[in-house]
Amino acid sequence: MKSVSINGSERKEICKKATKALRNAGQVPCVLYGGKTPVHFSAEVNEFRKIVFTPDVYLIDLTIDGNECKAIMQDIQFHPVSDEILHVDFLQIFEDKAVKINVPVKLEGFAKGIQQGGKLKLNLRTLRVKALPQDLPDTISIDVTELGLGQSFRVGDVDSEGLELLNSKSTPVATVMITRAARAAMNAAKGK
């Protein structure tokens, strides 16, 4: 899994006034959970651009006043009008503890149903998985080559070696939808 480094400094004051002053100075207030106690810190807003505005998932190497740890981004809050990052929560991860995370789905191949006039629809952009940090993939690849018209690739069909999929097994990940033109062609073929 890809990793990104973020440098931060610990916050001594966590009141509203201090948080507002941080934001005005171009800093984002953050909290690191998962350790013995939560760690309140701040980092520059530019540090988050590479992990926020992307569909990819990253392991984050946090350095807070010289102390290093690995984490994942748990939650992020945006301003409702300006989309400014207001607050970020991180979860510290350990090599021997499984972590739950959403991993992006990547479709591969050209479905048979598309060749017959269908339309491929991606129903789930991410899958919720549980695994040890070293087993987490960048993406979950799904080969849709064998999907015909009206067929679906379900969560239960995903090859999940080393991963525990937390989505319902019957939920479709990708479906080849029957378009009006394909339905009309099928009806015309039956009518002959």
> What's the burial of 37, exposed, middle or buried (CB within 10 Å: 0-12/13-18/19+)?
exposed
Neighbour tally for 69: CB within 10 Å: 17
Adjacency order of strands within the sheet including 140-143: 140-143, 99-108, 126-131, 164-165
Q: What is the mean pLDDT of residues 131-147?
A: 91
Q: What is the pLDDT of residue 80?
A: 93
181 pLDDT higher than 90: no
Which H or E element spans position 41?
strand 39-44
CA distance 189 to 186: 5
Q: What is the mean pLDDT of residues 146-163?
A: 89
- Domains, in order of start, for the chain: 3-92 (2.40.240.10), 99-191 (2.170.120.20)
Specify the higher pLDDT residue, 191 or 133: 133
Q: What is the pLDDT of residues 7-24, one digit of tens each?
A: 999 998 888 899 999 999
Q: What is the pLDDT of residue 168?
A: 93
Which H or E element spans position 86?
strand 85-92
Q: What is the mean pLDDT of residues 85-97?
A: 93
Q: pLDDT over 70 for what percent of the chain?
A: 99
Specify the higher pLDDT residue, 50 or 153: 153
| Nearest to 166, CA basis, from 140, 131, 128 | 128
123 pLDDT higher than 90: yes
Output the CA torsion sign for 5, 11, 17, 21.
negative
Q: What is the pLDDT of residues 30-89, one digit of tens each?
A: 999 988 899 999 999 998 888 888 888 889 999 998 899 999 999 999 999 998 999 999
